[in-house]
Amino acid sequence: MKLGGIFKAHQKYAQKYGPIFVARNVHTPIVMVESPELARKVLLQNNYRCVFPNLLHGEDAKFEESTYLDTRGDKLKTVRGAWQPFFFSGSLEGFMALMKDSADLLVDSVEMYARNGAAMDIHAMIGAMTVQVVGTTAFGVNFHTQAADKASEKNSSYVKHLLQAMYDIMAPKAFSFSMYTPPLILFPFAGPLIKRLAHYFPDEGLTRVKAGRQVIIDIVKELLAQRREELAGEQNRIAKGLGKLRASFAEATGERRGVAPGSFVDLLVNATDKSTAYETTANALAFTMYLLSKPENAEKLAKLTAEIDTFGRERVPTFEELDKFPWLEACLREGMRVFPPVPTLTREAERDMDLAGYKVPRGTMLGVAVFSMHNNPAYWQEPERYLPERFIEGTPECAAKPAHGYLPFGDGLRQCIGLRFAIMEAKITLIRLYQRFTFELQAEQDSLELRETITISAAKGVLVKAIPRPPTNNLF
Ligand code: HEM
């Protein structure tokens, strides 16, 4: 694994200074913690994420201020409560068919490559699938992102622009993307003036980020409008549910610029400094497949295919049957241990705190170095090894697991609300893929280069060849 700047630095500092140290985001100091106990304290006692100064001004700034991900105070519980029903079992079960259809399109796309024995970037292909899943489940909009989808041709320009825009606003440079950022951070009292200057005389970086945000807003709004037309007159359960959800959001936070707060558009546009639903799931899946495809993990893969064959190669699991794949779930959870898709969590100290004997004043920016903690031998035995056994009750590896040391979805009131949605989507996808194929890593993929933004992903993709699985005697 090739590790870049931020996480290598966190690991180095944790080794040198122990589980609490100060790091910097551009010029802003952040008190980082790197032990399970301190992480728990930080995440359970503080409910606000850090808000870093940004250059947006006027309408753009208003949009930013009321996003769900940065919601504070009394609104927080109301808005989180409004989101919650979307993730209850009843709703999740309703999404099974949509997720399965998207996974099957992915399988068809893989098949296209497998037929010619061609290599493919499975990370990009899964990314296209997870965008489609968010679109269909949240809004009943089909983004037609996948290669095997006959309608993808028509929408390919949408998708190309959407993905490019995502990259533009998520790129590492986004943290210091403009010449206006350093003065904004160094001289916060001059913020209003600097923001005005940036607004009227934007430089290249700011123009790119703003254009990316606008592309996302425009594309998603257009797709939603199309879908609304299609739905006119239809009795659509999802659209009705969404209507209720919107009403709760509107009541809790107020509408702005025609985009529902807390909506998919909201999540996407605010991807600059937050985790996003489609990308994290895609990364978790791609990393897990990468690890399962490594020759040294052949035995772990064999256990997975055996578990799937016991269930059946052709059968589609029901919602309840998804619980019958403990090894599959362990493979996924261990994948997120090695490569946590959101490698750093942030909070703002809501009151003065004592952290490992240090007095931390209210308002201090706090961070949890999840990546470093997940890969630290002080907490995890042989952290460099891929051992799904760590997540199988009753094994010695599971007994050795640190309590509270596993945080791919964060913790506390702001823990990932989409946790069950993500696990369900990932399980369906892996089952459908491994029912048909195993995957062989391409030579150049020996070492995985990571792209670090607020999430981590495979910088150059995950290049594999799909190997069709030989027939089995299983009757199903
Ligand atoms: C494997 C996939 C995913 C991972 C690893 C992941 C991880 C995370 C993490 C680490 C956080 C921050 C938690 C904290 O600060 O304590 C978060 C927040 C959030 N995630 Fe996810 N996520 C995933 C998938 C999803 C999906 C599929 C959705 C929606 C469909 C989603 C929606 C959200 C939302 C709305 C928040 C903000 C919650 C709040 O502030 O109250 N996530 N996610």
Q: What are the sequence ranges of the domains in the chain?
A: 5-468
Q: What is the pLDDT of residue 418?
A: 86
Query: Which residue, 88, 96, 87, is CA-closest to 320?
Result: 96
Confidence (pLDDT) at 178: 78
- Give the model's pLDDT for residue 246: 47
Angle at 57 between CA 56 and CA 58, to 5 degrees: 135
Residue 17: phi and psi, rounded to 5, are -110, -10
Residue 168, pLDDT score: 63
For ligand 1, which residues put their CB under 6 angstroms from it?
Answer: 43, 69, 80, 275, 277, 280-281, 284, 341-342, 345, 408-412, 414-418, 421-422
Average pLDDT over the chain, rounded to an integer: 80
* pLDDT tens per residue across span 169-181: 555 444 556 788 7
DSSP codes, 138-161: HHS-----STT-TTHHHHHHHHHH
Tokens 């201090």 locate to 364
Instruction: Kindly give, in sequence order, each residue whose CB lies less than 8 Å from that of residue 153, ignoring residues fewer than 6 positions away.
Output: none
Task: In whole angstroms, give the CA distance from residue 413 to residue 43.
Answer: 8
Q: Give the pLDDT mean for 209-219.
A: 75
Residue with more model confidence, 327 or 269: 327
Look at residue 165 in the predicted model and tell me its pLDDT: 66
DSSP of 359-427, one letter per residue? EE-TT-EEEEEHHHHHT-TTTSSSTTS--GGGGSTTSHHHHTSPTT---TT--GGGS-TTHHHHHHHHH
Q: What pTM was estimated for this model as a whole?
A: 0.80
- Residues near 466 by beta carbon (within 8 Å), at least 6 away in sequence: 110, 111, 113, 114, 120, 437, 438, 439
Highest mean pLDDT among 152-166, 346-360, 453-467: 346-360
Ligand 1 centroid – CA 275 distance (Å): 6
- Range 249-265 average pLDDT: 41
Residue type at position 195? K
pLDDT at residue 177, as a whole number: 65
Query: Which of 17-26, 323-332, 365-374 has the lowest average pLDDT?
Result: 17-26
pLDDT over 70, % of the chain: 70
Residue 4 CB contacts under 8 Å (≥ 6 apart), including other chains: 450, 451, 452
- Write down the pLDDT at residue 215: 75
pLDDT at residue 270, as a whole number:
45
Q: Please check the confidence at residue 273 and state whether its pLDDT lies above 70.
A: no
| Top-tier CATH class for 5-468 | mainly alpha
Residues 6 or more apart whose CB falls under 8 angstroms from that of 422 comprise: 277, 280, 281, 284, 409, 416
| Section 307-335 average pLDDT | 96
Tens-place pLDDT, residues 334-378: 999 999 999 999 999 999 999 999 999 999 999 999 999 999 999
User: Over 80: is that where the pLDDT of 166 sits?
Assistant: no
Range in 10-14, 19-23, 130-134 with the lowest mean pLDDT: 130-134
Range 193-213 average pLDDT? 83
Best residue among 409, 414, 415 to mutate for probing ligand 1, ranked by most atoms within 8 Å of CB: 409
SS3 346: strand
pLDDT tens, residue by residue, 95-104: 888 889 889 9
pLDDT > 50? residue 63: yes
Report the pLDDT value the prediction gives residue 72, as an integer from 0 to 100.
74
The residue nearest atom 2 of ligand 1, judged by CA position, is 281
Provide mean pLDDT across the span 183-195. 79
Q: Which of 416, 419, 423, 427 to mutate to test the pocket of ligand 1 (most atoms within 8 A of CB)?
A: 416
* Nearest ligand 1 atom to alpha carbon 370: 10
Give CA–CA dist 297/292, Å, rounded: 6
CA of 340 to the centre of ligand 1 (A): 12
| Phi, psi of 336, rounded to the nearest 5 degrees | -80, -15
Task: Note the pLDDT of residue 411.
Answer: 96
| Mean pLDDT to the nearest integer, 145-149 | 66
CA dihedral 212, 283, 427, 240 (to 10 degrees): -20
Residue 371, C-beta contacts closer than 8 angstroms, at least 6 positions apart: 7, 10, 11, 340, 343, 344, 456
Higher pLDDT, 325 or 1: 325
Nearest CA to ligand 1 atom 14: 410
For residue 19, the SS3 value is coil
Pick from 51-65, 247-261, 409-423, 449-463 the range whose average pLDDT is largest: 409-423
354 CA to centre of ligand 1 in angstroms = 27
Mutate to test the pocket of ligand 1, among 275, 342, 373 (most ligand atoms within 8 A of CB): 275
Residue of the CA atom closest to atom 31 of ligand 1: 418
- What six digits make up the tokens of 184? 């904004």
Ligand 1 centroid from CA 167, angstroms? 19
